[in-house]
């Protein structure tokens, strides 16, 4: 079957109620991009019996109810989805977000360690973040947006000893990715700042305003500006694409 994706998908049975989907290509960036594309197609046209889709950076775990469908039917549906026109042809337009970040000793406890790892001043680490145009690759635990495209001197190592309680809004980095912590919790990622905005609000009809494929830029603000925006719900930028 001829597919529209630039690289073919591969499926593998994962127990008796899930299928793992990967993309066959040597280019990691292309694999990650295609996985986002496949996920979006799958969410828009969820096959009968599929109960959940768990995203990884380069994989999808597609869970299904084995009482009403079977792995071979799910695999067949996935290949049909891969044969659809690209999402661009379906007029899916990514949203743009400009997220404020405050950087202090309290909000960026791992900043100096990242700077030492790179051999640069701490402000240079933040400058790399501010220059980055990031794309939301997947929604992690508690709908945390994981973003690819971080400008780095070299990939950032995770902490040898994870932190046990990181505040919500913490902006964290590892490898060449960034993520925002929606709720208090543990992490091994490096914390280099915090946003005063609420990025996930379970009391809203739509708990998040972002989705995979959306574009994110960060802007640094001072403590006074952060106090004024404390608790404000994250919404897309309405003034066009980030500068």
pLDDT of residue 208: 92
Does pLDDT of 5 surpass 70? no
At the topology level, CATH places domain 96-228 in Cyclophilin (2.40.100)
pLDDT at 26: 84
- What are the φ/ψ torsions at residue 10 (nearest 5 degrees)? -125, 140
Q: What is the pLDDT of residue 239?
A: 72
Strands ordered across the beta sheet of 177-180: 96-101, 215-220, 134-139, 145-148, 177-180, 170-174, 190-194
Contacts 24+ apart (CB under 8 A), 60-67: 60/20, 60/21, 60/35, 61/14, 61/18, 61/19, 61/20, 61/21, 62/18, 62/19, 62/20, 62/21, 63/17, 63/18, 64/17, 64/18, 64/19, 65/17, 66/16, 66/17
Residue 159, CB-side half-sphere exposure with 13 Å CA sphere:
18
Per-residue pLDDT band at 2 (split at 50, 70, 90): very low
243 has pLDDT over 70: no
Degrees to nearest 5, angle at CA 149 with 229 and 163: 60
Domain 9-90 adopts which CATH fold?
A: Gyrase A; domain 2 (3.30.1360)
Which pLDDT score, from 0 to 100, does residue 37 have?
81
* Per-domain residue ranges of the chain: 9-90, 96-228
Q: What is the pLDDT of residue 92?
A: 63
pTM passes above 0.95: no
- Most confident segment among 20-34, 87-101, 117-131, 206-220: 117-131
Block residue for tokens 């003034």: 239
Residue 170 has pLDDT above 90, yes or no: yes
Is it the case that residue 171 has pLDDT exceeding 80?
Answer: yes
> Which 3-state string (H, E, C) describes 47-65?
CCCEEEEEECCCEEEEEEC
Average pLDDT, the chain: 88
pLDDT value for 234: 97
What is the pLDDT confidence band of residue 6, given thresholds at 50, 70 and 90?
Answer: low
pLDDT at 86 over 60: no
Residue 193's pLDDT is 98
């Amino acid at each position: 079957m001829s597919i529209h994706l630039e690289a073919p998908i591969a499926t593998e049975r994962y127990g008796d109620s899930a299928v793992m989907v990967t993309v066959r290509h040597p280019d990691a960036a292309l694999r990650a991009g295609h996985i986002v594309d496949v996920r979006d197609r799958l969410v828009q046209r969820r096959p009968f019996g599929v109960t959940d889709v768990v995203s990884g950076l380069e994989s999808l775990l597609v869970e299904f109810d084995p009482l009403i469908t079977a792995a071979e039917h799910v695999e067949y549906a996935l290949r049909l989805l891969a044969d659809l026109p690209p999402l661009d042809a379906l007029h899916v337009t990514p949203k743009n977000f400009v997220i404020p970040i405050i950087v202090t000793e309290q909000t960026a406890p791992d900043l100096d360690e990242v700077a030492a790892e790179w051999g640069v001043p701490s402000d240079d680490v933040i400058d790399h973040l501010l220059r980055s145009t990031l794309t939301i690759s997947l929604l992690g635990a508690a709908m945390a947006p994981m973003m690819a495209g971080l400008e780095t001197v070299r990939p950032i190592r995770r902490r040898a000893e994870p932190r046990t309680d990181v505040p919500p809004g913490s902006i964290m980095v590892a490898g060449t990715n960034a993520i925002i912590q929606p709720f208090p919790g543990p992490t091994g990622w490096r914390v280099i700042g915090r946003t005063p905005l609420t990025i996930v609000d379970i009391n809203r009809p739509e708990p998040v305003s972002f989705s995979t494929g959306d574009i994110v830029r960060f802007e640094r603000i001072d403590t006074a500006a952060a106090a004024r925006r404390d608790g404000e719900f994250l919404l897309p930028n309405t003034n066009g694409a980030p500068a």
